[in-house]
Structure 1
Amino acid sequence: MLALPEVETIRRDLDRELSSLRIKSVELLEIGLAKRSGGKKKFVGRLEKAKITGVRRRGLYLMMGLDTGEVLVIHLGAGGQLRRHANRDEIEPNTVVSLTFTKKGQLRLLDQAGDVECIVVRADKLTQTIPELEIMGIDPLDQPVPWRMFGQIVLAQEAKLKAVLTDDRVIVGLGELYSDEILFAAGLRYDRTPNSLGPQELRRLHRAMVEILHDAVKHRGCTLEGSYYVDVHGVPGGYAEYINVFKQSGRNGRPCPRCHRAIQKYRYRRRWTYYCEQCQI
């Protein structure tokens, strides 16, 4: 699944490029995608002729405001892509929706992994339609959180640190990659419990989270081998070369940049966690 830096990169591009554009026509290529919007006819009818007023984000949900009082909500899942195209460009495989604007080409939604969500909903019915929006945790890219407040939130959790960082009800959208990188930067093991952390460790964890997320956005997200993420112009993210531990174990991985020992991996909660046994305590 895409994480906060990738979705925020897409949001910024879309807000800059689509705001004030009017939708001329809609082509729906995957009928099932319109089910939660009332079916194909209603999905198309609610979008055509509407003007996009801006693009915002709630967690990993992208929200295109419309001048009709409705919102086009998109969750890209693990393999979704939003791509800008000229009208004449060939339709790529796995394209599920194509929006043609009265000017400046098209926006196409691709579903490479079969888990994209796309819903048209009234703005005042957002949380009723998508109840997940009400239980999201803090969003470090949307609203800065002071380290003391962050510390209180973390200390209130009973799970181990890796589980805390990947729980969207606590901190939204970090995912496996960024949680491993944050823990490495903070010098903390994945299996520490929050109640074992001192004030300085909490400050380090908070600082690592903020710095890594903003750095990843600066490099326009991360595209790893086998992942589908590209920006709206089809360009891969550039953060992969700055990764320290994630997927760096084994013969082909890079050693720890601090102690130069091999990165370890451990099966935790049915997924691999990557860490340095020497530098994370």
Structure 2
Amino acid sequence: MPELPEVEMVRRTLLPLVVGKTIERVKVHWSKIIQHPDVATFCECLKGQTIHDIQRRGKFLLFQLDDVVLVSHLRMEGRYIYEKEDTPFDQHTHIFFTFTDQTELRYRDVRKFGTMHLFNKGEEFRVPPLSSIGVEPFDEQFTVAWLTDQLQRTKRTIKATLLDQTIVAGLGNIYVDEVLFRSSIHPERTATTLTIREIEALHEAIVQTIQEAIEKGGSTVRTYVNTQGKTGTFQTQLYVYGRANMPCRRCGNPISKTTVANRGTHYCKHCQT
């Protein structure tokens, strides 16, 4: 699933392609992707709207148009493709935004798990899915003191806590495993047991890991590519994720894999306590 760095790269590569484009019509081939409003209203409201900006919050893309905001979540394998209107497409292409210059932004999703919500401007953060979104690693509010307070409020494992999008937005399975390794914290530790030094290390690891991943174009572990069809390269620098039974890059002992918070979890028994 694309996490914050990957969604940020999709945003950055989409910007020069579609900002300034005016939507002539919208076609929906798989209606379940449209969560709000109904499909007919969704298509009608977007007619004549011009894309002015694309923002991101956590793992969500926010297309800023004249009067409305399109909130898009890519889920497992969602992808945006920019093509000329007459370019062939396959059966996994489900949403078509045709522009007045006969180009199209297409949404392709093999698993069909992605979602789209359309709101009037100013309403997007008042209701789900954005009303409960948490703090991002680059927000001013994301401080050691704030993180300490959040960890003291839960009895869950540190991995489950970091996966909670209502606390820290944008982190998923890959980057949670990575930041816990970088901060030498075992994923099954209860969040309340972390010391202030461990929280400081965790805070620094979150910010640095996400920044480095963005600089490397994200991680292509399975199918992720950006809007230009390019893969990320951060996966070559992963310490633990996807490296079960391979030697730890720090101590040489084999990386372990278990299940924490119902997610496959990679860690080093010797480096993380």
Report the TM range for the smaller structure's normalisation. Answer: over 0.9
Give yes or no for contact 1:80–1:111 (8 Å, CA) kept in 2.
yes
Cα deviation code 1:129-156 (max 9, x no counterpart): x423222221114556222222222233
Residue 247 of structure 1: how far off its partner (Å): 1.6
5 Å-filtered alignment, 1:67-216, equals 67=66, 69-103=67-101, 105-128=103-126, 130-141=127-138, 143=140, 145-216=142-213
Amino acid at match of 1:37: P
Residue 194 of structure 1: how far off its partner (Å): 2.6
Report the more deviating stretch, 187-196 or 139-148.
139-148
Give yes or no for contact 1:15–1:56 (8 Å, CA) kept in 2.
no
Residue 54 of structure 1: how far off its partner (Å): 0.7
Give yes or no for contact 1:80–1:228 (8 Å, CA) kept in 2.
no
Count of aligned pairs: 273
Structure 1 residue aligned with 2:65: 66
Q: TM-score, normalised by structure 2?
A: 0.92
Residue 193 of structure 1: how far off its partner (Å): 2.1
Q: Take 2:12 and 2:140, find their aligned partners in 1: how far apart are those partners?
A: 15
Query: Residues 142 and 50 of structure 1: is their aligned pair in 2 closer, same or farther, counting only changes over 3 Å?
Result: farther
Q: Take 2:213 and 2:141, find their aligned partners in 1: how far apart are those partners?
A: 16
Cα deviation code 1:246-272 (max 9, x no counterpart): 12113xxx3111111100111223322
Structure 1 residue aligned with 2:17: 17
Q: Which runs of 4+ in 1 moved over 3 A?
A: 31-35, 141-144
Give yes or no for contact 2:247–2:255 (8 Å, CA) kept in 1.
yes
Amino acid at match of 2:131: E
Give yes or no for contact 1:112–1:228 (8 Å, CA) kept in 2.
no
Residue 190 of structure 1: how far off its partner (Å): 0.7
Equivalent residue of 2:213, what SS? helix
Amino acid at match of 1:36: H
Q: Take 1:81 and 1:142, find their aligned partners in 2: how far apart are those partners?
A: 26
Query: Residues 229 and 276 of structure 1: is their aligned pair in 2 closer, same or farther, counting only changes over 3 Å?
Result: same
Work out which of the residue numbers 235, 241, 261 in structure 2 matches 1:240: 235
Query: Residues 143 and 97 of structure 1: is their aligned pair in 2 closer, same or farther, counting only changes over 3 Å?
Result: farther
Amino acid at match of 1:247: G
Q: What runs of 5+ residues in structure 1 fail to find an aligned partner?
A: none
Q: Take 2:229 and 2:71, find their aligned partners in 1: how far apart are those partners?
A: 21
Q: Take 1:113 and 1:26, find their aligned partners in 2: how far apart are those partners?
A: 21
| Pairwise CA RMSD | 1.9
Structure 2 residue aligned with 1:56: 55
Cα deviation code 1:208-233 (max 9, x no counterpart): 00010111111111111xx3321001
Q: Take 1:35 and 1:262, find their aligned partners in 2: how far apart are those partners?
A: 44
Structure 2 residue aligned with 1:7: 7
Q: What runs of 5+ residues in structure 2 fail to find an aligned partner?
A: none
Query: Residues 134 and 32 of structure 1: is their aligned pair in 2 closer, same or farther, counting only changes over 3 Å?
Result: closer
Instruction: Give percent identity, aligned residues only.
Output: 29
Amino acid at match of 2:49: A
Q: Take 1:21 and 1:125, find their aligned partners in 2: how far apart are those partners?
A: 23
Structure 2 residue aligned with 1:229: 224
Q: Take 2:35 and 2:272, find their aligned partners in 1: how far apart are those partners?
A: 47
Amino acid at match of 2:27: E
Amino acid at match of 2:113: D
